[in-house]
Amino acid sequence: MVSPVYGNYWYPNYWLVSYLLNPAAPSYYSQPVAPINIAQEALWVNSWTRQQPSLLANSLVTLSNYARQLWEASQPLQLSTSNNVFLQRTATSSAPNTVTAQAQPDATLSTYAISISQIATAQQNIGISLTSAAATGLTPGTYTLDFPR
């Protein structure tokens, strides 16, 4: 659109030329702008740009924490670690109140089935070869039995 007085809007200085030729009537659609709104927006932009580094730093710290938590959670799945879940040894007892079982960390990976037909009970020696007052070879306590392969 060409206007003999105001020129055309493709002209780079169209707004300036329009204002200089007719300062009372703007040649473009405008809304009244409140200076308070402009000031508030400028303060918000200024505040936002000042917060950007701290927001970025907080995001990076959070991301780093999540990465560390993921790494720690993945450690039991690593074949090179000592607490690898794929190399865990487990011992179970069918009667845990009577007999307990425990697997050592360096135990050979295998399946063992141990059957106990009777649990030893306390006995009293009433024979004549060994008197009940004589010293015994076993003292009261817990004994560990090792079953070699």
Question: Each residue's pLDDT tens digit in the chain (149 positions)?
Answer: 444 444 444 545 555 556 566 656 555 555 555 666 766 777 777 777 777 778 788 889 999 999 999 999 888 888 887 778 777 788 888 888 877 888 887 777 777 777 777 777 776 666 666 666 666 666 777 777 676 66
Q: Residue holding tokens 């200085």?
A: 13
Q: Residue 25, Cα to own-chain centre: how many angstroms? A: 64
Assigned token pair, 124: 């009293």
Q: How far is CA 93 from the centre of its chain?
A: 34
